[in-house]
Structure 1
Amino acid sequence: MVTATERNELIDRLERTVEPEQGWIPMFVYSDPDVYRLELERVFGKTWLFLAHESEVPNPGSFVVRDMGEQSVIVGRGDDETVRVFLNSCRHRGMKLACEDFGEVENWRCPYHGFTYGSKGEFMGTMRGAPFERKAYPQGLDKDALRLIEARCETYDGLIFATWDRDGESLEEFLGDARWYLDLLFGRAEMEVVGVPQKWVVPSGWKLPSDNFTSDAYHTATAHSFLGRLGLTKGVDFGRDGYHVSPGHGHGLGIGIHFDEESYFPPELQDEYRSNLSEDQYKVLSRLKNLHGNIFPHMSFLQPNFIELGGRKVSGMMLRVWQPIGHDRLQVWSWHLIEKNGPQWWKDAAKAAYVQTFGSSGMFDQDDTENWELQTKNANSALAREGEIVLHYGMGLEGEPLTEFPGPGAVYDGKFSEAAGRVYWRTWLDLILAGERS
């Protein structure tokens, strides 16, 4: 149990030692248990969090179970076709209503005492809401008071987000300039999730992979140099050419480009791309070689480097959530998305590429997760706890944004920069400091 004095001392310490604009981040913040408790309250309790794709809940009554911080929630499509997000907790004794990962139901019935709720979160009331209601509650029950606790829910490009902050900014305001770039992946065509998300546990603090996808193209030349050695890329510098983008709000991404005349994406999809994207967006997509990024705090996405499979260039798009399950453990949620109207060869090849590169057994994840695990061990060390280990985030500190790039935000020439990472940490720190001291 942390006392009010200890909590205030921690907040003061963070305010003194986390210096994003100077490029210095103390390593203890990655996995400190007391920092993590603050994050659950002030980051995951306040920001918009990605939960699901609309294609996962296609029908009235369909639902998936996800997490907001460490709180289980139900993402369900009501009988009125509206997608809502509810705390996965019965109002009677707090038992989980949905114990499956996904399904399709007419209502949710608590397995403990049988309290029953409709698809819009309403308590069903007399005769249907509670077993033996007239005998157990002769005075009756207040249906409105027993309604499921509901989060704010909004969507963008088919991506379902929710927040517990009732009065904060809208999802579009939160995403800001990042929307232009999300369109390149999720808005270019009608997209759908293939199968169900893969899940596995990594002994790592959740911010390490989130930070990695936000601004770290630099590691690819070393951690993923096997691509060059296997002849899948022309060299190990495949992560350099392109643009580093800091769109604000703690989001960040990198766009890798190629210089070939034709797009790497299937010819069969070009008309759909043109109809959904602006002319500038379509031009960027036509030169796209790879694209990585992170929506603050922990939704990462990747169009991996195109590789040759069966004589064709393919890439298997991935969407991730780095779900915290403790101060130094996370559960990876990994989705594969594809164009619903794409040719079958593209769907088959993209799935194979996803499994080979960024599925649970993929070549890249074996590189990355070992790094994050060992970084977390160092963050848990006595030296890190005492603040003796401070990490350098100064790459691109003197860089100036481009003035003529078609997309919004601060855009830098070349992907080797940590500008978006510094904004990520500033956003994180501002949220941590925004709560009142005890």
Structure 2
Amino acid sequence: MSTVFREAWLFVAHVSELPEAGSFVVRDMGEESIIVARGDDRTVRVFLNACRHRGMRLACEDFGSTNAWRCSYHGFTYGSKGEFLGTLVGAPYERVAYPGGLDRDALHLIEAKVDIYQGLVFATWSKHPPQLVSYLGNVAWYLDLVVGRAEMEVVGVPQKWVVPTGWKLPSENFTADAYHTATAHSFLARLGLVEKVDFGRDGYHVDPGGGHGLGVGVHGDEAGSYFPAELTDEYASRLTPHQLNLLKRVKNVHGNVFPNLSFLIPSFINIDGRLVSGMMLRSWQPIGPDQTQVWSWHLVEKNAPNWWKTLGRKMYTQTFGASGMFDQDDTENWEAQTRNATASLSRADEVFLHYEMGLGMQPLQDFPGPGDVYDGKFNEAAGRTFYRTWLDYLAGREFE
């Protein structure tokens, strides 16, 4: 918690969840509860969700809109708008209880550093963090395809549930593991939703560096884009020609921004006669060494046609989320892995795991996107970088 989740940039919200001044959501950064709030100046800020008087949690609901947060313990009140955002604005019987007055500046809510990329709100407790765009590095080019290709919005509110696993297993899964799909998710082929069980193989494995990673699944050029034709102009206005050409070939994209923000454009499947995908974001929030709270958001293009929005939500619900078929497969595996990892032989370093897939392979030289990009999605290069970066944080090593 102190070396990774206090120092790294952490995803905390999407801007569409904060539609107006005074709107807020309550999230977590490591062990800390936080308030993500939008002020009158449209600026998004992040505060520790703790009253400066006795540390009571200020906002106890998951989201809302308010003019002030009032502590339910002693009534200390903090502004949620304008120049008073995060500022102590009053306390009960203040003149009697504090005849000398209160130092309102000293009692300002503790504030994290915040930056936004393509609508994704990140925050960090680091005293000297790199710029967010530097932290993202090469993965930003690929995030443009996922969350920057159009103006995006969150559908509903995020789903939450708890999985008895450590946060690194699901994060690594999205970072680098297309290999498991042929076995763990073979039901797709048996149900006729995809042609073959190797639907996760064709495409590219990308190691962008920085602990981030992703896979881009592609279909043949002759098939044309699977995305709605109604959005073509908006895509073209936001993406470079190279990005747009790659998007036209996309059939799925999975990835992870270090440490715990996963993103996914699931494989397009036929629903009611139309090819559709239900994009999502995931945050793997650690609540203990072998407990993870999953936060899952469904995102869609704001200007998309109604059929794309309706069928995408249906596809997201059926495949991912708390009731999704994919999640039933994955969480069962992560839970069993965690039970094995906490057994005595594993703790005594008697058990070694195999991470050699793709060793010796050379990156492509003519791929238009940045990072080390490999032909085919069956590779563990980004997974090795993920764990190397995690170890760098734990060891306190300096980053370039």
Q: Is the Cα contact below 8 Å between 1:62 and 1:77 reproduced in 2?
A: yes
Alignment partner of 1:318 is 2:283: no
How much has 1:234 moved relative to structure 2? 1.1
TM superposition outliers: structure 1 runs of 4+ over 4 Å: none
Encode CA deviations 1:281-340: one digit per residue, 9 max, x unaligned.
000000000000000000001000000011110000010001111110111100000000
RCO higher in structure (CA 8 A, sep ≥6): 1
In 2, Cα distance between equivalents of 1:330 and 1:155: 25
In 2, Cα distance between equivalents of 1:51 and 1:143: 27
- Amino acid across the alignment from 2:316: Y
In 2, Cα distance between equivalents of 1:115 and 1:256: 52
Alignment partner of 1:372 is 2:337: no
Alignment partner of 1:416 is 2:381: no
How much has 1:378 moved relative to structure 2? 0.1
Aligned match of 2:200: 239
Aligned match of 1:293: 255
Aligned match of 1:22: none
Aligned match of 1:208: 169
Aligned match of 2:157: 196
Encode CA deviations 1:30-61: one digit per residue, 9 max, x unaligned.
xxxxxxxxxx0100010000010000011000
Alignment partner of 1:221 is 2:186: no
How much has 1:435 moved relative to structure 2? 7.5
Aligned match of 2:369: 407
Alignment partner of 1:136 is 2:97: yes
- Amino acid across the alignment from 2:10: L
How much has 1:80 moved relative to structure 2? 2.0
2:42 is paired with a residue whose SS is coil
Q: Is the Cα contact below 8 Å between 1:52 and 1:159 reproduced in 2?
A: yes
Encode CA deviations 1:258-277: one digit per residue, 9 max, x unaligned.
00331000110111000110
How does 1:97-246 map onto structure 2 within 5 Å? 97-119=58-80, 120-124=85-89, 129-246=90-207
- Amino acid across the alignment from 1:57: L
Encode CA deviations 1:226-245: one digit per residue, 9 max, x unaligned.
11111111111111100000
- Amino acid across the alignment from 2:334: W
Aligned length: 393
Aligned match of 2:295: 333
Greater helix fraction, Structure 1 or Structure 2 = 1
In 2, Cα distance between equivalents of 1:89 and 1:390: 42
290, 303, 313: which is aligned to 2:265?
A: 303
How much has 1:372 moved relative to structure 2? 0.1
Encode CA deviations 1:75-126: one digit per residue, 9 max, x unaligned.
00012211000000000000000000000001111111111111221111xx
- Amino acid across the alignment from 2:392: D
In 2, Cα distance between equivalents of 1:201 and 1:179: 29
Q: Is the Cα contact below 8 Å between 1:110 and 1:116 reproduced in 2?
A: yes
Unaligned runs of 5+ in 1: 1-39
Aligned match of 2:11: 50
Q: Is the Cα contact below 8 Å between 1:204 and 1:373 reproduced in 2?
A: yes
In 2, Cα distance between equivalents of 1:419 and 1:50: 24
TM-score by length of 1: 0.89
Aligned match of 2:20: 59
Encode CA deviations 1:367-416: one digit per residue, 9 max, x unaligned.
00000000000011010111111111110011111010000011000000
Alignment partner of 1:70 is 2:35: no
In 1, Cα distance between equivalents of 2:72 and 2:254: 42
- Amino acid across the alignment from 2:57: K
Aligned match of 2:360: 398
How much has 1:166 moved relative to structure 2? 2.2
- Amino acid across the alignment from 1:357: T
- Amino acid across the alignment from 2:285: Q
In 1, Cα distance between equivalents of 2:259 and 2:246: 26
Aligned match of 1:346: 308
TM-score by length of 2: 0.97
In 2, Cα distance between equivalents of 1:292 and 1:262: 20
Aligned match of 1:434: 396
In 2, Cα distance between equivalents of 1:390 and 1:44: 26
In 1, Cα distance between equivalents of 2:37 and 2:61: 13
Percent identity between the aligned chains?
67
Distance 1:47 1:427, change over 3 A: same
In 1, Cα distance between equivalents of 2:341 and 2:383: 18
- Amino acid across the alignment from 2:86: G
- Amino acid across the alignment from 1:318: M
In 2, Cα distance between equivalents of 1:377 and 1:389: 13
- Amino acid across the alignment from 1:160: V
